[in-house]
Structure 1
Amino acid sequence: MRLHTLALCAAAIMGPAAYAPGQSIVINEVMSSNVFTLSTAEGKYEDWIELYNTGDSTVDLSGFGISDNYSQPFKWVFPATTLQPHAYMAVFASEEDRKDTDPMHTNFKISANGEAIFLHNSAGVLVDMCNVPALYRDISYGRYPDGDTSHYFFDRPTPIAANSTAPGSGISLSPVFSMESGFYADQILVTLARQGTTGTVYYSLDGSEPNAQATPYTTPVSISHTTVIRARTIEANMAPSPVISKTYFINDSSSLPVISLVTDPVNFFDDSMGIYTFGTDYSPFYPWVGANFHEDWERPVHLEFFETDKQQVLNMEAGVKIYGGNTRESPEKTLAIYARGDYDYDQIAYRIFPNLPYISYTRVLFRNSGNDWEQTMFRDAMITSLAEDLDMDIQAYRPSLLFLNGKYWGIHNIREKYDRYYFEAHHGVNPDSVDLMSRHPGGMQVTEGDSVDWTLFQDFVKTQDLNDSATYEELRSKMDIQNCINYYVTEIYIDNTDWPGPNYRRWKAKTPGGKWRWLLFDTDCAWGQRQWGSMTAATYTRNSLDAATDPNGPSYPNKPISTELLRNLLACDSFKVRFINTFADRMNTTFDPAHVCQRIDSIKALIDQEIPRHIEKWAGTYDPFGSAYLGGIPDWENYTQVLYYFANNRRPVVRDHVLQKFNLSGTYVLTIRNPDPEKGSVMVNTVPVADSLWSGGYFNGNPLPLVAIAKPGYAFKDWGGLDVSANSFYLTSSADTTIRVNFIIDSIGVENNGPRDTRTTILEQNRPNPFNASTMIGLYVATASHVTLRVFSIDGKMVLQVLDQNLPKGRHSLTLQNSRLSSGIYYCHMHAETYTGIRRMMLIK
């Protein structure tokens, strides 16, 4: 952690300051890293400031200002309140700005790295100040005795009470370990050396935080099996040093990344405060309401992350909570990791997911695989990976091994956490300007922001005639229609039996032009999971399309309110056409059995070598309903076979469900022939077709959009004999159909970098090109039109939808800034009425 070498003398911290004479209110004690000391009414631990009235008279604090910025003395102002003689008052420095609670909350936090706190009276005169030094967790800094001019460190803080515990004039230096955390082939000896001339090093081997009752270091510590050592220096008249934690893996290897979590065992397993246990005050019936693991408790943890090459890439203090719904009851639980300045760093500064460009995270999950814990351990990861190319938000996945206090704790799936920081990273939005809504069996829940706009949106869809063209255009401005359709089609096809009542999430940026988008989340109960290893017709035949549109569904999982939005949207003809076509798109591509089986193979292979050890760890444990964990490898192999069984049998069943639901007469096979795929490709609804020959099944009588997209240097010629001159048209067919597309050399060329003739619609070349962080895209619309602007990778996959809305006549420009894209060649495709244009872009990172 950052305070390893901290050794401070209190006398050197305070600088000269002019104070108002005769004032009796002082800043008596401050804590900038509160983890366990003083909790709010909600059970949270925030920074705090204690005031003390040294005088014999009551002081009216009305109008007093407290601040961490001398130039803003009234950053936070006390309301009408008083402080009695020789009394104490605490104020939480939480940024929450609340004056109706006791203690109250200021609108600022205190930096754990140290900063000054100022107290001014209502006349603007400085009453007191405190130069708070860098503090590690649960160490306070204050006056001793109360009201005195001398300041000290307290490892036993006393908020809202006298500073009566033994003070320290500084913070001891942490001991130095002779060997770093890591993997060793055989037994090792670890030396612990103090840095000062006085004091004693104490250490533990069970994860507990060493104190004066722990083992004093005298000789090198012999380590013969995987072990954690925690050590600190304790000396007279000093606050103890920060604890140093190191993990030594002995004769232990894995093909997966390895996570070591170290925490005092009481934080996980103590009946009164352990987050991993039932505790003592809970209902004796499922789901054991009141159990410790259902509480929103956060505990400190030391985190080390070792890559597959065994190199340590993370070493930090953090917070940990139990995460999830009813799967909290599983013996192996999901852990949410929180980076906070109160512990150490406020970012997990590592590129955890190699396939993503993000180099830091604020929160991350170590997931137990939810309802799939006692089956495959990768069902949700496999399903969400299928949606990677669908312009849908998903949680990245990476399997890992977790050790808790040196003990093997099994496979945990590292996942991104849906919160405001996720949208900041993936969409570049202000994390404080996001609405994130969840629906659980108990009803709607606001996770971020508020529900105002979502309520208005629901009312709009429910009360307006969406078949009116103007109303439909307004709908397009409120929601990302294709994203919504992809979401519903995916959830229905995979047969998520724990949806749409629970696990239904959507979000919106609270900015002009922000649209509602849907999040694929918690699909553990999909893909035949509820059949518990049985491979019969019931595994894949459930009509989840009917369930998702049932106006009279049961309270779980599809009560009427959970199906209302989709029912209302499908009453709109335009939406229904796109919905039916997208079902066909997904069955032709995303859920093609061969494609899915290859994906199952690849993800299964990531963990199959680790599964035996994982099963051995959890053998003999039971789920919340009394079912024993996997009996062995044959059980696991059987559960994974269900994934293949569902993949190979689901498609024709869903096709029939669509036919029945929308009263369609049947399907036809569409074949696209492109003799020159190097010159261009075809978009079949949402499917980019870049091959010379492609076939897919579509629904009779449902208008299907086809768009020919020429590559740079080429132009669309014709549709091979069809009486269609434009490069895009709608195909309505009820018989097998073959379409040929032809491209020719473009004599004009598309790489002209200058603005084109503004009398015609045109897509201009982006500038700069090549680009790094961002690039400007200009376009001119000759007449008011609906414009789509999409970005495709060099292999024809759509990677980004930039624009999908009506634009007035005139020139428009926008900035493309998307950190999800990796370096390479991309094609920006614009479509407006009869115009289609393409520009080649190069991203260099």
Structure 2
Amino acid sequence: MDWVEFYNGGDESVTLTGWHISDSKRELQKFDLSFITVPANGYAVLSCSGSISDAAPTVAPFSISGSGDGLILTSADGTVVDYFETGATRLGVTSGRQTGGGSGDRVFFTQATKGSTNPDVCYLSYAANAVFSNTELYHSEPFSLEIKTKNADGVIRYTTDGSKPTEQSTEYTGAITISSNTVIRAATFVSGMMPSDVTTATYLFETPHSVPVVTLAMNQKDFDDVYAVSSPFVPVVEREGHIQYFEKDGSLGVETSAGIRVSGASTRRYPQKSLALIFRSGYGRKTVTYPFFGNDYIKTFGSLVLRNAGQDCLNTRIRDSFTSTAVLDMNIDSSAATFCAVYINGRYWGLYDLKENMNKDYLAAHYGVDEDTVNIIKRNTVELAGSNADFLRVRSYVVQQNASGANVVVPLTAERYAEFTKWVDAESIADYLIAREYFPDADMFNQKYWRTTDYKVRWRAIFYDSDFALSSERGDVLGHYFNVVGVPSADGSLSQMDLYCGLRSNEEWCDYFITRYIYVTKYYLNNDRLLPLFDSMVDTIQPEMDRQIARWGRPESRSHWENEISKLRSMLVARPQYAKQCLQYNFKLSEAQYAEYEAKADAMFNQNGGVFK
């Protein structure tokens, strides 16, 4: 949480009865300070947070932006007693005033002294940023890099190892010759001022990539600490790094600092790991806004993932991104994806899938909800965000144990179904099952569900981690989802399928599901749409595969990759007939019955104006 410190320079303590603090000139009485007493010649500290999860009678209901905020203190009669502009702060930097003989001007401190006297060492402002004479990504010939600053008395210091410059770093005294892959980070240092923000550039002497490029610059030891995490059973390590995103033509799209940590579970042991990019105010910004996935898609993100293609990295390396992209227009929570080449401190790190992070940031971006109201449950009970209490309650509404200890479905009658759907988004669950069945994935371990505590978003399943999708054109997983016993994993543990089993017991939902299944597979998940999408994604990464294979040996060879791509495409071509057969088998539909449902699906399509919805 953020905090504000009050100082009383008088000889008697002061209780702030009727006083208020606010971050808005339109709402001066935002927070009552009556409970605070500031001792004589002493300090009192107030915690501040705009997060619902931090809400408390003694916590002011606003956060302080790293880019600066105005704080207003008013007395009991409404008089503005003080107004303080915090100015831009960074991780480890606070702002305030010096007490005693110091002036009342705002200054910055690099040492936080919460609840006690401010440090003697302070800074009035920041030095001007260093400016590079060349910011182009790609180069074929050596060039001279000049660095300038607006501070006439400023000293520019720089690094070439990815670390942030300090006052002990190399001093810039003249043009630097750049002749190979290099990351340069520079800052201006002026006596009496805070060091400038760090200017970062990566220069590549490489054949230009056919995909966007993501560069990451950070202290090498920090990166090594992050990358050393190779088990899903140990805590991740997060360290700050600087990210730049370049479009295919080499133009810089956006740059920002972020927290870097490994992502994924079993794939953490792979030599090429997935990386999560976490945006936080302490690193400079809480979100990043950029059209990574096109101008018609969400543009503001609280976090992103550079995914290594998961367990499919040995074969086609597009299964997950293809399937998540293929279902985006369905009533499903799925991640957009784009391919990119990644460089870490100037070294090629391979081909990655840039994807949305399927966490509470996703819900906040797509649904406009407060992320602090989100519950996310993995598999049966694991709490990734919030509490699992409501999820367990909803599960027990439809599946209970009999006297013998066996799981049994409590049928959803019309009345119970109406109650159940107040908590569970039954239509979204239907679309999720359709997607899982059309791209059959026998890896049932990875189940996630989420909702908001106010039920603005009811319980929904998350479509993610499709590394084994469409492993066979004949695949059928519906029976697993409707198995009240649960589905065993390799370790013998069971993934419970209570929500699906409950819905299967309701005739109204089954009728909807069958109609929707035919509608989706006929008008959306059809090869007229899927094959061009598949071919386009293959064409995008095809020029990148030789470099990826040379870097990591995954896939093992181009010929292996091409063979796996060919097999996956053939399965995609054959899938429609088997998808139909799977539906008929699971719901015991004759051809005549299927035809009746198909007519209903056709009518649905016509009612939607011949457009899939």
CA separation of 1:252 and 1:699: change in aligned 2, threshold 3 A: same
Contact kept? 2:20, 2:30, Cα under 8 Å: yes
TM alignment of 1:22-33, pairs within 5 A: none
- For residues 269-301 of structure 1, give each alpha carbon's deviation from its aligned partner in whole angstroms, at most 9, with x where no partner exists: 3xxxx43333xxxxxxx836334xx25x4x443
Identify which of 640, 643, 653 aligns with 2:565.
Answer: 640
Partner of 2:405: none
Partner of 2:254: 314
What is the Cα deviation at residue 202 of structure 1?
0.5
What secondary structure sits across from 1:183 in the alignment? coil
- Structure 1 Cα separation of the partners of residues 412 and 73 of structure 2: 58
Contact kept? 1:439, 1:502, Cα under 8 Å: no
TM alignment of 1:97-176, pairs within 5 A: 105-119=59-73, 129-144=83-98, 148-151=102-105, 153-154=107-108, 156-160=110-114, 161-164=116-119, 166-176=121-131
Mapped pair 1:211 → 2:151: no
Mapped pair 1:368 → 2:331: no
- Structure 1 Cα separation of the partners of residues 33 and 565 of structure 2: 62
Identify which of 427, 432, 438 aligns with 2:370.
Answer: 432
Partner of 1:235: 190
What is the Cα deviation at residue 191 of structure 1?
0.7
- Structure 1 Cα separation of the partners of residues 390 and 322 of structure 2: 33
CA separation of 1:546 and 1:511: change in aligned 2, threshold 3 A: closer
Which of the two has higher C-alpha Rg?
A: 1
- For residues 487-519 of structure 1, give each alpha carbon's deviation from its aligned partner in whole angstroms, at most 9, with x where no partner exists: 1122134332333x533335479578x665544
Partner of 1:503: 447
TM alignment of 1:821-836, pairs within 5 A: none
Contact kept? 2:381, 2:392, Cα under 8 Å: no
Which stretch of the first structure deviates more once superposed, 588-597 or 312-321? 588-597
Partner of 2:231: 287
Mapped pair 1:547 → 2:480: yes
Contact kept? 2:94, 2:108, Cα under 8 Å: yes
Structure 2: runs of 5+ lacking an equivalent: 400-408
Mapped pair 1:574 → 2:518: no
Identify which of 430, 437, 448 aligns with 1:485.
Answer: 430
TM alignment of 1:525-604, pairs within 5 A: 525-528=468-471, 543-554=476-487, 556=489, 562-584=496-518, 599-604=533-538
CA separation of 1:139 and 1:437: change in aligned 2, threshold 3 A: closer
What secondary structure sits across from 2:467 in the alignment? coil
AA in 2 matched with 1:215: T
- Structure 2 Cα separation of the partners of residues 565 and 77 of structure 1: 45
AA in 1 matched with 2:381: G
Contact kept? 1:550, 1:560, Cα under 8 Å: no
Overall identity of the aligned pairs, in %:
23
What is the Cα deviation at residue 549 of structure 1?
1.6
Structure 1: runs of 5+ lacking an equivalent: 1-45, 279-285, 529-538, 620-628, 669-697, 710-727, 729-787, 801-845
What secondary structure sits across from 1:377 in the alignment? coil
Which stretch of the first structure deviates more once superposed, 212-221 or 450-459? 450-459
Partner of 1:706: 600
- Structure 2 Cα separation of the partners of residues 553 and 452 of structure 1: 20
Partner of 2:402: none
What is the Cα deviation at residue 437 of structure 1?
4.7
CA separation of 1:553 and 1:476: change in aligned 2, threshold 3 A: closer
- For residues 732-753 of structure 1, give each alpha carbon's deviation from its aligned partner in whole angstroms, at most 9, with x where no partner exists: xxxxxxxxxxxxxxxxxxxxxx
- Structure 1 Cα separation of the partners of residues 372 and 519 of structure 2: 31
CA separation of 1:69 and 1:573: change in aligned 2, threshold 3 A: closer
CA separation of 1:436 and 1:57: change in aligned 2, threshold 3 A: closer
- Structure 1 Cα separation of the partners of residues 181 and 435 of structure 2: 43
- For residues 589-642 of structure 1, give each alpha carbon's deviation from its aligned partner in whole angstroms, at most 9, with x where no partner exists: 6666786555433322211211221222224xxxxxxxxx54332443344345
Identify which of 47, 50, 64 aligns with 1:95.
Answer: 50
Identify which of 599, 613, 623 aligns with 2:547.
Answer: 613
Contact kept? 1:203, 1:232, Cα under 8 Å: yes
Contact kept? 2:94, 2:111, Cα under 8 Å: yes
AA in 1 matched with 2:233: V
CA separation of 1:434 and 1:51: change in aligned 2, threshold 3 A: closer
What is the Cα deviation at residue 201 of structure 1?
0.7
- Structure 2 Cα separation of the partners of residues 473 and 140 of structure 1: 53
Contact kept? 2:259, 2:278, Cα under 8 Å: yes
What secondary structure sits across from 2:186 in the alignment? strand
Mapped pair 1:258 → 2:220: no
Partner of 2:404: none
TM alignment of 1:368-517, pairs within 5 A: 368-418=308-358, 422=362, 426=366, 429-432=367-370, 436-441=374-379, 443-445=381-383, 447=385, 466-468=412-414, 481-499=426-444, 501-507=445-451, 510=454, 517=460
CA separation of 1:277 and 1:416: change in aligned 2, threshold 3 A: same
Identify which of 145, 152, 166 aligns with 1:197.
Answer: 152
- For residues 388-425 of structure 1, give each alpha carbon's deviation from its aligned partner in whole angstroms, at most 9, with x where no partner exists: 45343422111011222222221121223345664566
CA separation of 1:472 and 1:107: change in aligned 2, threshold 3 A: closer
Contact kept? 2:364, 2:370, Cα under 8 Å: no
CA separation of 1:551 and 1:360: change in aligned 2, threshold 3 A: closer
Contact kept? 2:488, 2:495, Cα under 8 Å: no
What is the Cα deviation at residue 261 of structure 1?
2.3
- TM-score with structure 2 length normalisation? 0.83
What secondary structure sits across from 1:242 in the alignment? coil
Partner of 1:522: 465
Contact kept? 1:98, 1:105, Cα under 8 Å: no
What is the Cα deviation at residue 178 of structure 1?
1.5
Contact kept? 2:487, 2:495, Cα under 8 Å: no
- TM-score with structure 1 length normalisation? 0.62
Contact kept? 1:591, 1:647, Cα under 8 Å: no
TM alignment of 1:683-702, pairs within 5 A: 699=594
- For residues 626-684 of structure 1, give each alpha carbon's deviation from its aligned partner in whole angstroms, at most 9, with x where no partner exists: xxx543324433443452464366666665554554445x546xxxxxxxxxxxxxxxx
- Structure 2 Cα separation of the partners of residues 98 and 656 of structure 1: 48
What secondary structure sits across from 1:301 in the alignment? strand
Mapped pair 1:275 → 2:208: no
CA separation of 1:59 and 1:789: change in aligned 2, threshold 3 A: farther
CA separation of 1:504 and 1:70: change in aligned 2, threshold 3 A: closer
- Structure 2 Cα separation of the partners of residues 649 and 356 of structure 1: 32
CA RMSD of aligned residues (A): 4.1
What secondary structure sits across from 1:250 in the alignment? coil
What is the Cα deviation at residue 171 of structure 1?
1.8
Partner of 1:692: none
Higher helix share: 2
- Structure 1 Cα separation of the partners of residues 5 and 430 of structure 2: 54
CA separation of 1:706 and 1:586: change in aligned 2, threshold 3 A: closer
Contact kept? 2:189, 2:195, Cα under 8 Å: yes
What secondary structure sits across from 1:574 in the alignment? helix
Which stretch of the first structure deviates more once superposed, 181-190 or 346-355? 346-355
Count of residue pairs brought into register by the alignment: 602
